[in-house]
Amino acid sequence: MGQYIPVGSELKPAELRAWRAFLDAQATLLRRLEAELVAGEGMTLAEFDVLAQLGRAEDGRLRMSDLSERVRLSPSGITRLVDRLVRAGLVKRGNCATDRRGTWAILTTEGTARLRRARPLHLRGVRQHFARRLSPAQLDELADALEPLTGDRVSSK
């Protein structure tokens, strides 16, 4: 994914510097984390994210629409991704008893085992490529700066 720099924009130098740094950091970190997961576990970052979201959910299940929102994929994108995970035996689908239109994505026993194997590799990468490169104060400042952009402001203070 290329950088999105507004053409003909009137961004101030500090705004453009921050935007480019954000895009570069995100792309670099995601590429590294993905490469490590693929090499170590044969799993993409998106696949790991689905398993992790299901692993955190009550009963290891989420409605497909909720899963789509949590992993930030379109409904068609999450359908294709879950299809791959179903074929691999890591996820299964279930019908929602309260809504005939609703479908559950459900973590299987094999999916739970794969998540347990992949999680330490992923967390090690997050620490190595991200958390250890910033001081505790910088981590707090970064979270404080980015949380308002998502509308999910959650303070640990």
> Would you place residue 5 in the very low, low, confident or very high pLDDT band (cuts 50, 70, 90)?
low
> Closest Cα to residue 125, out of 29, 25, 24?
29
Encoded amino acid at 110, one letter: E
CB of 67 closer than 8 Å to CB of 82:
yes
Length of the chain (residues): 157
pLDDT of residue 65: 92
Digit-coded pLDDT (tens) for 51-74: 999 999 999 999 999 999 999 999
CA dist 116 and 135 (Å) reads: 28
**What is the pTM (predicted TM-score) of this model?**
0.84
**Sequence-ordered alpha helix ranges (H) in 64-150:** 64-71, 75-87, 109-129, 136-150
Burial, 2: exposed, middle or buried (Cβ in 10 Å; 0-12, 13-18, 19+)?
Answer: exposed
CA dist 100 and 66 (Å) reads: 16
Digit-coded pLDDT (tens) for 81-128: 999 999 999 999 998 777 767 799 999 999 999 999 999 999 999 999
CA dist 119 and 38 (Å) reads: 13
Q: Which domains are delineated in the chain?
A: 26-127 (1.10.10.10)
59: DSSP letter: G
CA 143 to centroid of chain Cα atoms: 16
